[in-house]
Structure 1
Amino acid sequence: MKLLVDSGSTKADWIAIDTNGKVLFTTQSLGLNPEVLTKEEIIARLDDKFDISHNKDKAAHLFFYGAGCGTDRMKNFLTDVFKDYFKNASVNVYEDTYAAVFATTPKNQEAIVCILGTGSNCSYFDGHILHQKVQSLGYIAMDDCSGNRFGRHLLRGYYFNKMPANLATEFEKEFDVEPDAVKENLYKKPNPNAYLATYAKFLIKHKNTEFCQ
């Protein structure tokens, strides 16, 4: 059995296939970004999904394409976690941009490939090798135009009283914006980048307002 995984910070999509390419199951787990999760948190997210935990010993190959896997340190860390969990599988970990390249770019064709979600990324593919011209520093320093970046701007707009009163009222109804709740999610809970990205839906919902524009 082969497992193929496309993981962002918010969610990870899994598909299991047999040697003939037949789909055995598909499932979705919480995101597995090694930059923001510990080994114990990653394993807990794997154990939480029945299809993954009950088939882990059947996996012969794992191909994982994930956010936060752009450095050798994170690739090696996640590879070791997966080898401990999927004990009979050969494990290959790649940054998520490779999955985007394979999904969108014809063989041997050059392209600029971008990912826009909880985080953001942009890379040049020369037809054979992916070139990351700028090394990502993660959601705090980079991830321009991503869900978490827009969420940050909305929160700041609300707290600095830049958000119009009618939108602020809607914002308060839709989200728990009490300072203690916000800080708990930002500084104590896992995946603060995914938490920030949850606010982005508000921007989309009110995209025609001057403030959101």
Structure 2
Amino acid sequence: MILIADGGSTKVDWIALDSNREEVFRVKSLGLNPAVVSKNELQKRILAVSKLTKISEKISEIHFYGAGCGTPIPVKILKDILESIFVHANIVVAEDMLAAVYAASGEKPAIVCILGTGSNSCYFNGENLEMKTASLGYTIMDEASGNYFGKILLRDFYYEIMPKNIAATFKNEFNLDVDTVKFNLYRQENPNMYLAGFAKFMFEHKEEKYIRKIIKKGFKTFFKYRILPLNKSPETPIYFIGSIAFYFRDILEDVASKYTLKITAIIQRPIDNLVQYHKEKINL
């Protein structure tokens, strides 16, 4: 059997295929970002999924694409853990950006962007990823991501910048006790996932002028640092992956038009496209 996994910081989508390339099952686990989650916690999160552990010895291949898997050290950490659980599998661990490319443009040249818990972008020339800059993650980058907007919402609430009616709703929806917030930010695993959890508030109040303003500003910042520096022609296809892009499609397309760019497609969940790519292109 073969496992294909598309992993973000919040969750991982797993799909198992049999030798005939037919889907056996699909399941989710908690996020497996080896850049921000400890080895013990990574292993615990995989072992907690009984559907995976029950067939661990039957797996011959794993194609894992994940957030935080863009540099050698975290890749090795996650690969070692997977090899200890799936003992007969040939395992390939690659960055989530590559999964986004395969799910969006396949093997055709395009600009591909991720707007999920974190954010990233690249130009795919048909063979290789061209990254303008390395991603340094949620503390100083990740423009227009879930955790980026989560930070803005928290700051605006505590600085009393958030409109009072929205602040009242925000306070009712989340535990905003200072000690609780600080504990989750500085003492718990996955602070980026915790911050991104506040982004769901934006989905529920997307018509509010305040929400639309911060979303638009975030998207402009993303284009400024993550798309325009790629210096590609306006005819270059542009794909977006992730819930932030999906739920705020109208604002994203409006910002793109301001730069005379047009978005080719927005894909909320890339796993199905990714599996189809593997079915067609990889000799299982």
Name the TM-score, length of structure 1 as normaliser.
Answer: 0.96
One-letter amino acid of the structure 2 residue matched with residue 26 of structure 1: R
Map residues 157-168 of structure 1 onto 2, 5 A cutoff: 157-168=156-167
Give the alignment of 1:21-170 within 5 angstroms.
Answer: 21-107=21-107, 109-170=108-169
User: What is the percent sequence identity of the aligned residues?
Assistant: 47
> Per the alignment, in what secondary structure is the counterpart of residue 3 of structure 1?
strand
Code of the aligned partner of 1:83: E
Structure 1, unaligned runs of 5 or more: none
Higher helix residue share = 2
d(CA) in 2 for partners of 1:23 and 1:68? 27
Distance 2:123 2:73 in 1: 22
The residue number in structure 2 matching 1:190 is 189
Q: Report the CA distance between 1:106 and its aligned residue.
A: 4.0
148-157 vs 162-171, which deviates more? 162-171
Note the alpha carbon deviations across 1:12-58, whole angstroms, 9 max, x for none: 00001111101111100001000111111011101111101111111
Alignment size in residue pairs: 212
**Using the alignment, how far apart are the partners of 2:36 and 2:56 within structure 1?**
23
Distance, in Å, in 2 between the alignment partners of 1:90 and 1:64 is 11
TM-score, structure 2 as length reference: 0.73
Alpha-carbon separation, structure 2, partners of 1:123 and 1:169: 39
Q: Secondary structure at the match of 1:198?
A: helix
What SS does structure 2 have at the residue aligned with 1:211?
helix
User: Hey, what's the Cα distance between the residues in 2 that align with 1:12 and 1:199?
Assistant: 19
Q: Which residue of 2 aligns with 1:177?
A: 176
SS class of match (2:94): strand
- Residue aligning to 2:14: 14
How far apart in 1 are the matches of 2:20 and 2:34? 31
Quote the Cα distance in structure 2 between the aligned partners of 1:22 and 1:146: 34
The offset of 1:103, in angstroms, is 1.1
Q: CA deviation at 1:115?
A: 0.8
Query: What SS does the aligned partner of 2:209 have?
Result: coil
Counterpart CA distance in 2 for 1:209 and 1:90 is 49
Q: Distance in 1 between matches of 2:4 and 2:106?
A: 20
Amino acid at match of 1:82: L
Separation in structure 2 between the aligned mates of residue 105 and residue 54 of structure 1, nearest angstrom: 34
- Return the offset for 1:163: 1.0
Q: Distance in 2 between matches of 1:106 and 1:87?
A: 30
Aligned counterpart, 2:278: none
The residue type equivalent to 1:174 in the other structure is: E
User: How far off its partner does 1:165 sit?
Assistant: 1.4
In the TM superposition, structure 1's runs of 4+ consecutive aligned residues that sit over 6 Å from their partners are: none
Structure 2, unpaired ranges of 5+ = 214-284
SS at match of 1:34: coil
Letter in 1 for 2:205: H
Question: Following TM superposition, by how much is the alpha carbon of 1:204 offset from its aligned partner in structure 2, in angstroms?
Answer: 2.5
